[in-house]
């Protein structure tokens, strides 16, 4: 005899109680058949309800302004080109990509000859350097105690640098190269060194049909950086694959949306736009470094893509735990308390934003010549 199958919904979770199913006679074929059909219909309804919940959740995320990286390569390429303001003038070709990659890794662009773009934006470390504030020329710490943002998916940021002072990747590339506490070079030194290397002269002619200029150096680096995009399981979920996230990740996403995190962490990068900081409370480590945002106190919201790879967090790298970062954002930005369980659930979702990293082979560099200026270590 089938006594009862109880189920109810609470907080979007399905609770089942099949313990009261009693078959009085194991040999009774009819009752077994009834039970199996009832069980099948019930479990089918559970799967359907779960699928509907996932579809509604994906729609809720999309309605909150979050945008998927397309799985279709042509659409992804178009999205990248739309985000790069110089893409029409300087399209991504194999020649420009390879030149940009070589320049990104070549330490001879720095005055000392030992610091490259990859030093602070290490592609093997989530596109960051894994320390609170970067170290530059003569082992100098960043004077403002600024944490290096990830270079991955940076093409989708509406602005570059924490204070948004650069509009696109090529403009950003010029900054660290010529900053005294970073690579400490000058446009003239960079061009002089590259022109002294015949292989680079040929590469610029092939890639741009031009002699070497500082603007084309930064453009080439920006073209390489355009390609550093990392689609994730979350993108597949937004595109309709309800099984791309597990139940715990979906629960974390639901909390992320319900708490209001998507107010700032939206768009294709779940961040990357200028937003006000310390909206509801003071940041507990505000005195670490002197960064205060742009002239209006606006700060670039960091992308949440690959966030588990980019500790420490915040503009000054003062928080190492992603769980603590989530709780801090709740109090500082939203004026709410996020408890440990909620924070852990949201971290579970945030980890699903770790994407597929593009394969980048470390390049071999052309040889320096007698005309190549010697490294200036200033020790």
**Which positions are annotated as active-site residues?**
182
DSSP string covering 5-60, please? Answer: -EEEEETTEEEEE-TTB--S-TT-HHHHHHHHHHHHHHHHHHHHHHHHHHHHHHHH
Residues 290, 107 contacting (CB under 8 angstroms): no
d(CA 330, CA 216): 43
Backbone φ and ψ of 240, nearest 5°: 120, -5
d(CA 88, CA 82): 9
Of 130, 101, 133, the C-alpha closest to 117 is 101
d(CA 6, CA 2): 12
Cα-to-chain-centroid distance, residue 278: 22
- Helix residue ranges per DSSP H, the chain: 29-63, 73-83, 94-105, 117-120, 169-178, 187-195, 198-208, 214-226, 233-238, 247-258, 322-329, 340-351
d(CA 376, CA 110): 9
Residues 182, 176 contacting (CB under 8 angstroms): yes
Task: Kindly tell me the sign of the dihedral angle through the C-alpha atoms of 200, 204, 205, 206.
Answer: positive
d(CA 346, CA 6): 30
């Amino acid at each position: 005899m089938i006594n009862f199958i109880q189920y109810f919904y609470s907080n979007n979770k399905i609770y089942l109680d099949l313990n009261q199913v009693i078959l009085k006679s194991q040999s009774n074929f009819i009752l077994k058949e009834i039970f199996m059909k009832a069980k099948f219909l019930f479990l089918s309804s559970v799967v359907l309800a779960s699928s509907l919940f996932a579809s509604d959740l994906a729609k809720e995320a999309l309605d909150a302004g979050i945008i998927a990286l397309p799985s279709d390569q042509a659409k992804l390429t178009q999205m990248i080109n739309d985000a790069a303001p110089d893409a029409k003038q300087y399209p991504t070709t194999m020649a420009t990509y390879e030149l940009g990659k070589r320049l990104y890794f070549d330490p001879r662009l720095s005055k000392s000859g030992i610091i490259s773009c990859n030093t602070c934006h290490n592609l093997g470390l989530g596109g960051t350097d894994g320390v609170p504030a970067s170290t530059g020329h003569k082992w100098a710490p960043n004077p403002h105690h600024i944490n290096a943002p990830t270079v991955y998916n940076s093409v989708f940021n509406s602005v570059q640098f924490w204070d948004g002072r650069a509009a696109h990747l090529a403009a950003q590339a010029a900054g660290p190269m010529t900053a005294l506490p970073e690579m400490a070079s000058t446009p003239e030194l960079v061009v002089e060194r590259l022109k002294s290397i015949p292989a680079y002269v040929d590469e610029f002619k092939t890639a741009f049909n031009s002699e070497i200029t500082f603007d084309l150096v930064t453009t080439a680096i920006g073209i390489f950086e355009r390609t550093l995009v990392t689609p994730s399981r979350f993108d597949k979920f937004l595109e309709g694959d309800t099984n791309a996230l597990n139940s715990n990740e979906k629960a974390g996403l639901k909390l992320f949306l319900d708490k209001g995190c998507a107010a700032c962490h939206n768009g294709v990068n779940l961040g990357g736009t200028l937003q006000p900081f310390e909206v509801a409370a003071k940041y507990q480590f505000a005195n670490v470094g002197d960064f205060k945002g742009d002239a209006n106190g606006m700060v670039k919201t960091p992308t949440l893509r690959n966030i588990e790879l980019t500790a420490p967090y915040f503009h000054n790298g003062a928080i190492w735990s992603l769980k603590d970062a989530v709780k801090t954002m709740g109090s500082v930005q939203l004026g709410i308390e996020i408890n440990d369980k909620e924070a852990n659930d949201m971290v579970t979702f945030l980890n699903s934003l770790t994407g597929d990293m593009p394969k980048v082979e470390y390049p071999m560099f052309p040889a320096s010549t007698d005309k190549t200026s010697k490294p200036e270590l200033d020790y």
